[in-house]
A and B are shown apart, each in its own frame.
Chain A
Amino acid sequence: MPLDDFDRRLIAATQAGLPLVPRPFDAVGERLGCSGEQVRRRLQAMLDQGLVRRIGAVPNHYRLGFTANGMTVWDVADERVDELGAEVGALPGVSHCYRRPRRLPQWRYNLFAMLHGRSRAEVEAQRGQVRALLGAACRADDVLYSSAILKKTGLRLNEG
């Protein structure tokens, strides 16, 4: 569904963060010229529509001790990737799991699963679980460890 003007202003006012004051929705409402209750009602509607995933905290995995972050990538038979992707996504330690297009010849992998662990050994153990789950449906795989976070700001829409 398209965003209306109020939605855009609400997103712009909160995308950098919710105010850390006792009545944060009232504070947002003051900026937007409406009541805190209207802000909460609209956010609830956005949650119901899936436009807001949740109102919560995004941790820096590194700072919480999850210093090993492996983007695992898998070349899975097209006819089984959807069924198996759902199972991979449900494994513990998997934070994101997507089907994406191959880019041949440089890139043969169509399933991406992000694994987080306190060590590479932990990530490799999780990778073994994914490999076992995929079995013969997977023809090749790789893991790309991150060596630096270069930017992590989340979504930014322009105001107005």
Chain B
Amino acid sequence: MFDVIHPDDLRLIARLHGGLPLVERPYRAVADELGLGEEHVIARLQALLADGVLTRFGPLFQIERAGGAFVLAAMQVPAARFDAVAAQVNARPEVAHNYRREHALNLWFVAAATSADAVEHAIQAIEADTGLTVLRFPKEREFFVELKLPLLEPVEADHAAG
């Protein structure tokens, strides 16, 4: 289940997709645009992070531009070992994201580090820890990365699809 998010919070989240202005008091600048108060914006961001509605707020680094690397990787984990293997994968600090997916390849994670060698080292360590093969899917080309969820559109899709 999910929460009903207050419309002012949705406006704030949608506004922050576009990036925080690099000014001395950025929360005040965003608050002014939205007709809210600076204290309100700060308090709502704290609450949204504490509640887990936002997972992070801050600069989103593209470490590949500085010689770093991200690799998407997949594993076929026996169901009986799934939780233990997921914990072994998550224990690596290089693992930034990890998802369970409905497929024979049922565990998909992203490993990130400051060099391709460091990513490969982390993946090899995961293979050693788990005794399982990891398929590597480094990105060869990025076509588009942008969050463009229709946050401010009315919820009609379920009806339309039915």
Binding site for B on A (CB under 8 A): 1-3, 7, 11, 14-18, 20-26, 36-37, 40, 43-44, 46-47, 49-67, 69, 71, 82, 85-86, 88-90, 92-101, 103, 106-107, 112, 116-119, 121-122, 124-125, 142, 144-158
Give which listed residue, B16, B61, B135, B158, contacts A52 with CB less than 8 A: B61
> Is B60 a contact partner of A55 (Cβ separation < 8 A)?
yes
Interface residues on B, range: 35 or more
Binding site for A on B (CB under 8 A): 2-3, 5, 10, 13, 16-20, 22-28, 38, 42, 45-46, 48-49, 51-63, 65-67, 72, 74, 86, 89-90, 93-103, 105, 107-109, 112-114, 135-151, 155, 157-158, 161-162
- CA–CA, A10 to B136, complex, Å? 30
> Is B2 a contact partner of A65 (Cβ separation < 8 A)?
yes
Q: Which residue of B lies closest to A114 (CB)?
A: B145
Interface of B is mostly: mixed
Q: Which residue of B lies closest to A113 (CB)?
A: B143
> Is B158 a contact partner of A64 (Cβ separation < 8 A)?
no
- CA–CA, A99 to B143, complex, Å? 8
- CA–CA, A122 to B62, complex, Å? 30
**Residues in B whose Cβ lies below 8 Å from that of A157:** 63, 113-114
**Residues in A whose Cβ lies below 8 Å from that of B144:** 86, 88-90, 94, 96-97
**Residues in A whose Cβ lies below 8 Å from that of B67:** 2-3
